[in-house]
């Protein structure tokens, strides 16, 4: 069975609940993001929701999006789903007129490798917003 990725309607309470559940399963120690902001996608395997990803307008650049969170539930990791969740955001960002996608990783080799696989390059922002071990990534669309 293949995976299907759908843009989520984050005005629906049921969708917000599902995103919160996926987030808790994938990132149990991280603070919940505001799921009502920006764009969110949910990956399905049949009827099961197995992954999610978000993107907001960059707070720093008007023509850029920021990929703020992603997760794939443990049983479905290693099937390229994170890369598909990156590519769906790249396509959407381009369609709505953004020219860049930005993100960061902190001590997360799988995410870094997914970003490299999708053509992202590491860079040093003028004003870094993360911690000491954060790597910053960008890709022109």
Task: Note the residues at the interface with ligand COA (CB under 6 A).
Answer: 26-27, 69-72, 77-83, 108-111, 113-114, 117
Task: Provide the minimum distance between the beta carbon of 15 and ligand COA in the complex, in angstroms, as a whole number.
Answer: 19
Least distance between ligand COA and beta carbon 94 (Å): 20
46: left (phi over 0), alpha (psi -120 to 50) or beta: left
Report the residue number, 26 or 55, with the smaller CB distance to ligand COA.
26
**Residue 3, Cβ density class (10 Å: 0-12 exposed, 13-18 middle, ≥19 buried):** middle
Q: 84 to each of 13, 63, 73, how far by Cα in Å? A: 25, 22, 14
Nearest distance, CB of residue 14 and ligand COA, angstroms: 22
Question: Of 10 and 108, which CB lies nearer to ligand COA in the complex structure?
Answer: 108
Closest separation in Å from C-beta 120 to ligand COA: 12
Helical pair 109-117 and 81-95, crossing angle rounded to 10 deg: 50
Q: Which is nearer to ligand COA, 63 or 107 (CB)?
A: 107
Nearer to ligand COA, 80 or 119 (CB): 80
119 φ/ψ sector (left φ>0, alpha ψ -120 to 50, else beta): left
């Amino acid at each position: 069975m293949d995976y299907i990725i759908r843009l989520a309607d984050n005005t629906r309470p049921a969708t917000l609940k599902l995103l919160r559940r996926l987030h808790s399963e994938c990132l149990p120690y991280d603070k919940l993001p505001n799921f009502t902001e920006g764009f969110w996608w949910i990956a399905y395997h049949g009827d099961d929701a197995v992954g999610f990803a978000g993107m907001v307008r960059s707070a720093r650049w008007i023509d850029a999006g920021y990929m703020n969170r992603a997760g794939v539930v443990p049983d479905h990791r290693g099937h390229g789903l994170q890369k598909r969740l990156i590519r769906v955001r790249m396509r959407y960002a381009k369609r709505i007129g953004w020219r860049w996608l930005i993100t960061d990783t902190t001590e997360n080799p799988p995410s870094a490798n997914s970003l490299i696989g999708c053509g992202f390059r590491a860079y040093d922002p003028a004003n870094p917003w993360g911690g000491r071990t954060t790597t910053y990534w960008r890709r022109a669309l």
